[in-house]
Homo-oligomer: A and B are copies of this chain.
Amino acid sequence: MDIDAIEAAATRLDGHAVRTPFLNAPLLDQIAGRRIFVKAECLQKTGSFKYRGARSAISALSAAEQAAGVLAFSSGNHAQGVALAAFEMGVPATIVMPSDAPELKIANTRAYQAEVILYDRVTEDRDQIGTDLAATRGVSLIKPFDNPMVIAGQGTTGLEIAEQCRASGIETADVLVCCGGGGLSAGVALALAAKAPGLRVRPVEPQRFDDVARSLVAGKHQTNAQMAGSICDAVLTPTPGQLTFPILKAHCGPGLAVSDTDALRAMALAFQYLKIVLEPGGALALAAALVRADGDDDVIVVASGGNVEAALFEQALQHHRETQ
């Protein structure tokens, strides 16, 4: 994995991925007591950065592999990214999802023409089903983060941040990135190390699910004690990826963790001042910038996704109104 792979991915994504804007709101800066620049990946196709990695990985397959099709297991943003990228490229896609996934996400994935295979989260093993299916069908498994071409695709976000910071006159700053398995954090960190060495990635996780932060401290893989109990469903992974962790260790600053309440408040402030929709897991980095867990300098925030149910979004707005 190096910068060449990320630049090659950028070429493959050109004209397909949205070059997402770099937003700033002076009134939000006043509330925060610092300047915050927001890379709005919620405006990416399918509502999250995951489309970048998916399109990068599928477009890197050979013509024969593309004709055979791809498979992903995911209940969320990665599934939609793979389904849309595959659909755009005429590649058959199979998505393995838990049968208790939100109906809307299943319907969305089907609307991208993917074949959805449901499994029982309690009695069946997702990895086994996925691996078996990939083997039987001869299709390519697109893992959500432990795939070099996926990491390269997510890294294109970092190339854009480097350019956008240059245009805004920002040379030195922390770049807070919402972090699950670490694909986005690793890709952005690699891109910035090559293109804007004054910018440093710091992964942000939900409190009690800060496996990456603890792993960075320990220098080796740490695991979360639980896999449920946060509203930030998009970033709940048990431990850093095998491919992503060495990159994170080499290039990232210390990790940060914020509470669900802070994530909800960040969603409400993003609504009010930036006019973007964030899901809880996609609001973690903004939350960290607002509570200033990382200091009080100018800061860059990657707002990684906006796929949130209306009811939960209403709850975030209501909570904010009541506590103002």
Contacts and interface: CB of A to CB of B under 8 A. Distances in A.
Interface stretch (A2-10, A65-73, A268-276): A268-276
A84 B27 CA distance: 10
B18 A20 contact: no
A2 B25 CA distance: 32
Interface residues of A, number: 40
B15 A275 contact: no
A275 B318 contact: no
Task: Name the residue among A24, A314, A318 with the largest chain B CB count within 10 angstroms.
Answer: A314
A27 B111 contact: yes
A286 interface: no
A30 interface: yes
Interface stretch (A118-126, A293-301, A305-313): A305-313
Contacts of A321: 310-311
B306 A275 contact: yes
Contacts of A167: 15
Given A15-B167, A23-B18, A111-B27, A47 B275 contact: yes
Contacts of A25: 45
Contact of A268 (B24, B27, B273, B310): B310
Contacts of A40: 43
B21 A18 contact: yes
Nearest to A30: B111
A224 interface: no
A42 interface: yes
A26 interface: yes
Contacts of A84: 26
A275 to B, nearest CB: 4
Interface in A273-293: 273-278
A298 to B, nearest CB: 17
B42 A272 contact: no
Nearest to A83: B26
Contact of A320 (B24, B42, B310, B320): B310
Contacts of A278: 275
Contact of A318 (B47, B271, B273, B314): B314
Nearest to A113: B26
A43 B23 contact: yes
Closest 6 CB pairs of A and B: A275-B306, A275-B277, A310-B317, A42-B275, A314-B314, A47-B275
9 contacts: A19-B21, A24-B45, A25-B45, A43-B275, A43-B276, A271-B277, A272-B310, A313-B317, A314-B317
Given A47-B273, A271-B313, A310-B317, 16 more contacts: A15-B167, A21-B21, A24-B45, A25-B45, A26-B87, A27-B112, A30-B111, A40-B43, A43-B43, A272-B310, A275-B276, A277-B277, A310-B320, A311-B321, A313-B317, A314-B314
